[in-house]
Amino acid sequence: MTEVGVSDPLLAEGLAKIADEVDRAFDALLPVPEDARARLIEAMRYAAIGGGKRLRPLLLTAVAEMYGVVREAAIRAAIAIESIHVYSLIHDDLPCMDDDSLRHGKPTVHKAFDEATAVLAGDSLLSFAFEVLGDPAVSADPFTRIELVQALGHASGAQGMAGGQMMDLVAETSEFDLQTVTRLQQLKTGALLGAAVEMGAILGRVQPEGRAHLRGYARDIGLAFQIADDLIDHEGNAEVAGKAVGKDAAAGKETFVSLLGPDRAREQARMLVEQAIGHLSQHGKEADLLRAVARYIIERDH
Amino acid sequence: MTEVGVSDPLLAEGLAKIADEVDRAFDALLPVPEDARARLIEAMRYAAIGGGKRLRPLLLTAVAEMYGVVREAAIRAAIAIESIHVYSLIHDDLPCMDDDSLRHGKPTVHKAFDEATAVLAGDSLLSFAFEVLGDPAVSADPFTRIELVQALGHASGAQGMAGGQMMDLVAETSEFDLQTVTRLQQLKTGALLGAAVEMGAILGRVQPEGRAHLRGYARDIGLAFQIADDLIDHEGNAEVAGKAVGKDAAAGKETFVSLLGPDRAREQARMLVEQAIGHLSQHGKEADLLRAVARYIIERDH
């Protein structure tokens, strides 16, 4: 099982491997109970299993592997961050938010179940993320676990992803400049991608200097990722996106593409990817997967 | 500033004190930023500051005080659990859930702001809870902090509060028996009340035997609390409830009152309170506040 359209064999293998591992871990950690909670767990499983590129788990485990972290521990931490990502998609798709009916090519949770169940499934995945990080299976060292909690808590809340989502809502009725759109995207998408790299570094007990380079890498690919997303939305291929496209323009939102134009936006994304790879210069072959991820991020629409 | 209608002076003082401390801590920990996230933080503050009895913070700090925990540390942990409680109210009130427009005598968050902001404010308070527990201000000992994270994560997710909320949704279209309603309420309300006591015990490094007694206390008051809530809903005094009443019957939900009748329900609640107080028999005066809370729980509607 390899990812369609991924030319780099190392990346193709990495994507297929992590997709399988994440699916199996969610399956094992979310058994369906034999009571009235079954519907809730089924909704969580519906959203969490079998969809998405698993980019955050890939980043987290790629960094962890560079520093010799046991694979099972890294997968547990990856489940935590992916749970946050999945919850955010469930809530983002709600009628009162983006009102989307399609996600990863299948009906969104509130369409397949109902709105109340979608709200609760998102909430439960959010709690689940931190429950997973509390468990010693992530690390026998409580200090490592609490560092992971801090990193993920900060990245997911009002000072991170949710704050970015709020700015995104405000963007529909405001004229944002490039600086504000950059800040919005750094929070909305960048914070969690950054947390993925950071959590890998926490597990690997990476020293401050190494962490600073990894943070630079994460910041650059986060922004490149969002520019690529804007380009996909602008170019409007719903099949590639696996979701509705052309929505930003329809909602009157400023994006990197509307502010820079598609050509400069594409050029900017390419430059960021080069810069991201530059942050890995002190690493050898062991960072090849991170380099491949960086390149992949702007090639998703081809 | 003392709570109206609370006859026990120790409890009246405790309620007034914790209300003030919780308000001040939320105010300090949730400063409004000068960017487009302001609306999100304002919604979080609107829901978190100046409302509710602060029962969970009272329980947590009362247990912590029995074991000599520094007050500031206990307040931090109390902020975490109250954030979970407040987020659950925001999401519970949403149109797709209970569709309430009044909470603590003021418009619900989605009425005062909008639905999308209410979803995000709830999500952000959930993340915030764990961010607070990750911070060394709760405890210098990372093991204590991670134990708190585990307790709160477990109590708030699908195996706790959110699972109970799901059962509550299913209850509208199912015939639940007394056992299932008991299970539902143990999850929906009991899990978080239990976590409040447990978190106080974690901070106080209470030994297993002492914890077992405190768990018994928490379990009993949790159930008594819900029976009292059902009685308030049944008797229909919206002013006392601070929210819409008579909704359970309208929604066709079985409750303790519908299953037992009001008289037996009241008797059951009284028995549970006596039993809860019995779990504190090895403690002297230092547990008087917990005893007062137990009695208060079924006197709220008088």
Measure the CA–CA gap between B162 and B172, rounded to whole angstroms. Answer: 16
Confidence grade of residue B302 (pLDDT, cut at 50, 70, 90)? very low
Q: Convert the pLDDT of each residue in B263-298 to its tens digit.
A: 999 999 999 999 999 999 999 999 999 999 999 988
Contact A119 B180 (CB under 8 A): no
- Nearest residue on chain A to B166, alpha-carbon basis: A37
Q: Convert the pLDDT of each residue in A169-228 to its tens digit.
A: 998 888 889 999 999 999 999 999 999 999 999 999 999 999 999 999 999 999 999 999
The answer, for A165 touching chain B at a CB cutoff of 8 Å, is yes
Residue identified by tokens 């019995």 is: B278
The answer, for B128 touching chain A at a CB cutoff of 8 Å, is yes
CB-nearest to A131 from B40, B96, B157 is B157
Phi/psi of residue B107, nearest 5 degrees: -55, 140
- Is the pLDDT at B158 greater than 50, yes or no? yes
The answer, for B7 touching chain A at a CB cutoff of 8 Å, is no
- Is residue A43 in a domain? yes
**pTM confidence score:** 0.94
Contact A127 B126 (CB under 8 A): yes
Residues 201-240 of B with CB under 8 A from A: none
Q: CA dist A182 to A160, A178, A223, A231, B229, Å? A: 13, 6, 8, 15, 48
Question: For A154-190, b where at least 16 C-beta lie within 10 A, e where not — what string?
Answer: bbbbbbbbbbbbbbbbbbeeeebeeebbbbbbbbbbb
How confident is the model at residue B151, as a pLDDT? 97
Residue pair A104/A38 in contact (Cβ under 8 Å)? The answer is: no
How confident is the model at residue B286, as a pLDDT? 96
How confident is the model at residue B40, as a pLDDT? 97
- Is residue B3 in a domain? no
- Is residue A302 in a domain? no
Shortest Cα–Cα distance, A4 to chain B (Å): 34
Measure the CA–CA gap between B111 and B92, rounded to whole angstroms. Answer: 13
Residues 240-269 of B with CB under 8 A from A: none
Q: Convert the pLDDT of each residue in B70-119 to its tens digit.
A: 999 999 999 999 999 999 999 999 999 999 999 989 999 999 999 999 99
- Is residue B75 in a domain? yes
Confidence grade of residue A302 (pLDDT, cut at 50, 70, 90)? very low
**Is residue B31 helix, strand or coil?**
coil
**Is residue B4 helix, strand or coil?**
coil
Which domain covers residue B102, as residue numbers?
Answer: 9-297
Residue identified by tokens 């949710």 is: A162
Looking at the DSSP assignment, which residues form a beta bridge with residue A198?
A: none
Shortest Cα–Cα distance, A160 to chain B (Å): 9
- Is residue A1 in a domain? no
- Mean confidence (pLDDT) of chain A: 92
- Is residue A288 in a domain? yes
Confidence grade of residue A301 (pLDDT, cut at 50, 70, 90)? low
Confidence grade of residue A238 (pLDDT, cut at 50, 70, 90)? low
How confident is the model at residue B78, as a pLDDT? 98
Measure the CA–CA gap between A248 and A185, rounded to whole angstroms. Answer: 13
The pair of structure tokens assigned to B271 is: 């028995």
Looking at the DSSP assignment, which residues form a beta bridge with residue A107?
A: A102
Phi/psi of residue A148, nearest 5 degrees: -65, -40
- Is residue B56 in a domain? yes
Contact A153 B134 (CB under 8 A): yes
Measure the CA–CA gap between A34 and A48, rounded to whole angstroms. Answer: 20
- The domain tally of chain B equals 1
Measure the CA–CA gap between A142 and A56, rounded to whole angstroms. Answer: 23
Residue identified by tokens 């008594």 is: B224
- Is the pLDDT at B123 greater than 60, yes or no? yes
Residues 33-62 of A with CB under 8 A from B: 35-37, 39-41, 44
Residue numbers in A near B31 (CB within 8 A): none
DSSP notation for B129-147: HHHHHHSTTT-S-HHHHHH
- Mean confidence (pLDDT) of chain B: 92
CB-nearest to A123 from B91, B146, B176 is B91
Q: Convert the pLDDT of each residue in A115-129 to its tens digit.
A: 999 999 999 999 999
The answer, for A150 touching chain B at a CB cutoff of 8 Å, is yes
Q: Closest Cα to residue A227, out of A296, A298, A278?
A: A298
Taking each helix axis from N to C terminus, what angle separates A208-235 and A288-297, rounded to the nearest 10 degrees? 30
Residue numbers in A near B126 (CB within 8 A): 123, 126-127
Q: A190: domain CATH number?
A: 1.10.600.10
Dihedral angle sign, alpha carbons of residues A177, A178, A179, A184? positive
Comparing A224-238, B57-71, B105-119, B208-222, which segment has the lowest mean pLDDT? A224-238
Shortest Cα–Cα distance, B275 to chain A (Å): 28
Q: Convert the pLDDT of each residue in B219-253 to its tens digit.
A: 999 999 999 988 988 887 666 666 666 777 777 78
Interface test with A, best of B113, B149, B156, B179 (most A CBs within 10 A): B149
Residue numbers in A near B174 (CB within 8 A): 36
- Is residue A178 in a domain? yes
Q: Closest Cα to residue A33, out of A44, A49, A24?
A: A44
Contact A116 B128 (CB under 8 A): no
Q: What does chain A come to in residues?
A: 302
- Nearest residue on chain A to B168, alpha-carbon basis: A36
- Is the pLDDT at A242 greater than 90, yes or no? no
Pairing of strands A106-107, A102-103: antiparallel
